Amino acid sequence: MGLFLYLFCLSGLVQGAEPPSRFPKPEFETGYVQPLTQCPAPRAAYLEWVDVGVLAGALALTAWLAIRKRSRRGILAMTVFSILYFGFFRRGCICPVGSIQNVAASLSSTSFLLPWTVVLLFLLPLVFALFFGRVFCAAVCPLGAIQDVMIRRPVRLPRVVSGALGLIPYLALGLAILYAVTGAGFVVCRHDPFVGFFRLGGTVTMLVSGAVFLLLGIFVARPYCRFLCPYSVLLNWAARFAARPVTITPDECVNCRLCEASCPFDCILPTTPDRPPETRPVARRRLGWAVALVPAAVMLGAVAGFAMHTVFAAGHPVVRLAGRIALEERLQMREYTLESEAFRGTGQPLAQLDAEARAILARFRIGSTVMGGVLGLVVGGQLVGLALWSRRKTYEIDNGNCLSCGRCFEYCPVGRPGGKGAGQDHGN
């Protein structure tokens, strides 16, 4: 009888019959949808070198158009090329703006390998800025190029407002470096407002922020470049020492004032003939007060950075996870997140996670304090610059902030038919 039952069960298995189950089948469907990644797939190594070559060629051609030919039309053509190639074809990655984070991460960790192509992408615009000014901003950077074509009715911001907003790029640069060296991620790439357009898709927040910048750019010329871009800080420093930067006129300025309103970025410094001369003691006293305020500004910035380190550290995934787990353990959060469930599934002790978060928080404490002190030094330096007043007899370009766009070329009568220097070909 037992043999008969055994053969009966065996025949049922062979025919595909399922034996009775004591437990319900496991459920693998959770409804979770994998988010779309915003990082393009890596390219072949030789194609990365092609990008470096195209960048070098575009910088050289733009410098020639701006310095030698003085052609606004040529610069505009390069602007369209950069939008198509570096923007839509290369999908905005990797760009010199984002390479700041790669360089910072490689300098802080030996385990982060930095390809030579990324090093060159980071250095080439700065090297050209040392010789020819910010020709990268003129037409090569896709982020600036897509904003440049949107400029229609630019308004002139008060210098106090533009000066205050001009401090934000220093903060953005500090945060980009701080987050990169602490392993919190590449915030510049994560919050790039235009990469969604270049990749023809993205999150709602990314697309909306990009649209806001472009619409704002109709009236406030290149708002991202002037008031947010961290790479602009480095380009500004390099361009101030440019050997042969862009000039308003190819010859001697005749003070015709035609270029005064041509620059939508407020980079043309007018003459100052109406300001009465001041005595040397007054000038020394003003400069002395400005220099005395520099240490106070550095100290105040360092204190502010120290006070904000916990806020900045909350952007690190480990610190954020440790805070979430702590709330769940205290029953202040009764529902688990995907991250907390994944952590609990690893079996890692909570004490180990807490120790790791504390170590990261200590790094943020130091980094935020240093960043705040540097920002204070920048503010103090600007105060000293305001105290150092000098008389200008002709219209000049602010080389640090000038984007080498060439708009002022067409307003200058020097070199045009009927003007001084007539007969010279400057490519207009």
Higher local confidence (pLDDT), 137 or 190: 137
Does residue 4 register a pLDDT over 60? no
CB atoms within 10 A of CB 160: 8
d(CA 114, CA 199): 24
Decide if pLDDT at 333 tops 80: no
Three-class DSSP category at 397: strand
pLDDT band at 279 (very low <50, low <70, confident <90, very high): low
User: At residue 70, does pLDDT exceed 60?
Assistant: yes
Lowest-confidence region among 56-65, 325-334, 393-402: 325-334
Say which residues have a Cβ less than 8 Å from residue 109's Cβ, sequence separation at least 6. 181, 183
361-373 per-residue burial string, b: 16 or more CB within 10 A, e: under 16? bebbbebbbbbbb
Q: Which pLDDT value is given to residue 108?
A: 87
What does the alpha-carbon distance between residue 58 and residue 145 come to, in Å, rounded to a whole number?
13
Q: pTM of the entire structure?
A: 0.84
- What would the DSSP string read from start to end of 4-70? HHHHHHHHHHHTTPPPP-SSPPPP------PPPP-SPPPPPHHHHHHHHHHHHHHHHHHHIIIIII-
pLDDT value at residue 97 = 92
Q: In the predicted model, what is the mean pLDDT of residues 269-287?
A: 74
Highest mean pLDDT among 2-11, 53-62, 404-413: 53-62
Whether the bond between 94 and the residue before it is cis, its omega within 30 degrees of 0, is: yes
Q: What are phi and psi of 78, to 5 degrees?
A: -65, -30
Average pLDDT, the chain: 84
Report the alpha-carbon distance of residue 246 to residue 227 in Å, rounded: 22
Choose the weakest-confidence range: 82-96, 174-188, 305-319: 82-96
Average pLDDT over residues 80-106: 90
pLDDT mean over 180-209: 89
| Confidence band, pLDDT 50/70/90 cuts, at residue 39 | low
Is residue 286 very low, low, confident or very high in pLDDT (cuts 50, 70, 90)?
confident
Q: What is the pLDDT of residue 242?
A: 94
* Distance (Å, whole) CA 349 – CA 152: 59
Instruction: Supply the pLDDT for residue 274.
Output: 61
Q: What is the pLDDT of residue 40?
A: 53
Percent of all residues in the chain with a pLDDT value above 90, rounded to a whole number: 51
Checking if the pLDDT of 228 tops 90, the result is yes
- Per-residue pLDDT at 143 exceeds 70: yes
Residue whose C-alpha is closest to residue 175's, from 121, 101, 232, 242: 101
Name, of 11-15, 112-116, 126-130, 407-411, the range with top average pLDDT: 126-130
pLDDT (0 to 100) of residue 305: 95
pLDDT surpasses 50 at 20 = no
DSSP string, 340-395: HHHHHHHT--HHHHHHHHHHHHHHHHHHHHHHHHHHHHHHHHHHHHHHS----SS-
Most trustworthy range by pLDDT among 33-42, 165-174, 389-398? 165-174
What's the pLDDT score for residue 34?
53
- pLDDT of 93 > 60? The answer is yes
Does residue 134 surpass a pLDDT of 70? yes
The average pLDDT across 243-253 equals 87
Is 415 or 88 the better-scoring residue by pLDDT? 88
**Which range (166-180, 227-241, 323-337, 338-352) has the least confidence?**
323-337
Q: Does the pLDDT at position 27 exceed 70?
A: no
| Extents of the domains making up the chain | 48-271+398-411, 280-387
Lowest-confidence region among 88-97, 157-166, 268-277, 383-392: 268-277
> Which residue(s) pair with 268 in the sheet?
397
